[in-house]
Structure 1
Amino acid sequence: MALVMAVTIIAGFSLQLAAGRSTFRSPPLVHAHAIVFMGWWVIYLLQNVFVTRGSMTLHRKLGWIAVMWTVPMVFLGCAVTVAMVRAGHVPFIFRPLQFLIFDPMTVFTFVGLTAAAVVMRRRTEWHRRLHYCGMSMLLGPAFGRLLPMPLLVPWGWEAAFAACLIFPVIGMIADRRRTGTVHPAWSRGVAVMIASFIVTEAITYSPVGSAIYTAVTAGSPGAEVPPLDFPPPPTGPLITGR
């Protein structure tokens, strides 16, 4: 499944590039974001390879590097989102305020699940499943590039999130077929994922969300963009900038 996740990510971003909707002429901040987040799935894939081969010393050493790797992921994930919202460059398939909330919330939820997996590293059955759920949270951008998002407005983000849940469901089915029961780590991990979805929606359509948007966009072109209105589709080439 780590390989399937990797293929999903590669497919999504390759399609974006092949369709001309992405460009390497993006700002340095976007490139840094890409390197760090792509680096995570490489780490995740290697960790699974090490475990499969019984290379537990390498697995543990890379695991502590992975812990430190999440720090720039949080910073860059939030920084790129804020930069796009302030510039008024939120993709037209998302409400600007929703975009401002769900991008960081996705990263925070990923970090929470990853931290829980690290804390429970001596309980392998919990450790690997929580990591798996955390990685599933990061697949939203890939699905957002594979799904026909313009046709899914106004439910594009919700559809991408639902697609991310496919992976934990596959894990549950595999557990059931293999052992006859579903490990409780799945219910905990999925509950956290769904809770993040509910919190995102609640903040988006609340005065708190409006206050956050106002504070973030103050003094920028984004302040002139209605926070809950979908931006108009671009009249020229559809280039997302990332």
Structure 2
Amino acid sequence: MATTFAPAPRMARKDRFFLNTSIAMATIVAAGFSLQLAMGRSSFAAPPVVHVHAVVFMGWVAIYVLQNVFAASQSLALHRRLGWIAAGWTVAMVVMGTLVTVRMVRAGNAPFFFTPLQFLILNPVSVLTFAGLTAAAIVRRRQTEWHRRLHFCGMALLLAPAFGRLLPMPLMIPYAYELTFLAVMVLPMLGILHDLRWRGSVHPGFVWGIGVMIGSTLLTEALIYSPAGPALYAAVTAGTPGAEVAPYAYPPFPGTPLITGRPASM
């Protein structure tokens, strides 16, 4: 008796979007940080905590791409196993993202295109928002269309530091943060166009994901300019060089390239 084999399912064109954009996001990250190194604005002489931070966040980029590869190739068992590793990885990202931000602000070493208070608030809010979107995606893991769109929005939010290394940030003062956020939003806008083309309407996953992203920006702005902002800055920087830096004052342009995580005087 002849045995027939069913051909492996081909990935639908509409599903390639999430795989292709995961690769595009990883490319943006690689380009941003490679440019930083090539221009002498980064160094392997950064403190160990900064290297741990880099490994953790770059590890997430690899996880995100792999998850999309597994989903596209129908390797669902691998996708699920890596998914639980990713859940724990998210906790490490929140810890390291906040730790490095606080360390830099306490050292008086916030990027010169942000005010110190802006930098202190925007990074933790962004990484916590990412974690929230990731948690929501995990809760919705059995609803594929929700799951992939919430993860997409969370990953897009993490692109801000990469865009910050590709865009002319000094020329964008005093709106560097806001304009970087607009660059980040290009990815979800592409998601909307994808949905309109292939579904005829925007999936609620993108509506909620984009709404949360915008909400995180509004929350950041509200905290920065509320009485809670300077109070938080004073509490975090008490007894450190950062306490000598005005929370709303832009640091002077550096005379030499800064090494992430090290005081400007070093």
Deviation at 1:162? Answer: 1.1
Q: Note if 1:12 corresponds to 2:22.
A: no
Q: Note if 1:88 corresponds to 2:108.
A: yes
The 4+ residue runs of structure 1 with deviation greater than 2 A are none
Q: Note if 1:191 corresponds to 2:211.
A: yes
Name the aligned partner's letter for residue 53 of structure 2.
H
Contact (CA 8 Å) 1:91, 1:240: kept in 2 or not? Answer: no
Name the aligned partner's letter for residue 84 of structure 1.
M
TM-score (norm 2): 0.90
Aligned residue pair count: 241
Name the aligned partner's letter for residue 222 of structure 2.
A
Contact (CA 8 Å) 1:37, 1:73: kept in 2 or not? Answer: yes
* Match of residue 241 from structure 1: 260
Distance (whole Å) between structure 1 residues aligned to residue 114 and residue 148 of structure 2: 32
Q: Note if 1:32 corresponds to 2:44.
A: no
Deviation at 1:91? Answer: 1.0
Q: Note if 1:174 corresponds to 2:197.
A: no
Q: Could you list the runs of 5+ residues in structure 1 that have no partner in the other structure? A: none
Of the two, which has the highest radius of gyration?
Answer: 2
Q: Could you list the runs of 5+ residues in structure 2 that have no partner in the other structure? A: 1-20, 262-266
Contact (CA 8 Å) 1:33, 1:73: kept in 2 or not? Answer: yes
Name the aligned partner's letter for residue 197 of structure 2.
R
CA-to-partner distance for each residue in 1:76-133, whole Å, 9 max, x for gaps?
1000000000000011100000000000001000000000000000000000000000
TM-score (norm 1): 0.98
Distance (whole Å) between structure 2 residues aligned to residue 159 and residue 13 of structure 1: 19
Distance (whole Å) between structure 1 residues aligned to residue 71 and residue 57 of structure 2: 22
Contact (CA 8 Å) 2:116, 2:250: kept in 1 or not? Answer: yes
Q: Note if 1:97 corresponds to 2:95.
A: no
* Match of residue 6 from structure 2: none
* Match of residue 131 from structure 1: 151
CA-to-partner distance for each residue in 1:47-73, whole Å, 9 max, x for gaps?
000011110000000000000001111
CA-based RMSD: 0.7
Q: Note if 1:222 corresponds to 2:236.
A: no
Contact (CA 8 Å) 1:109, 1:193: kept in 2 or not? Answer: yes
Name the aligned partner's letter for residue 152 of structure 2.
Y
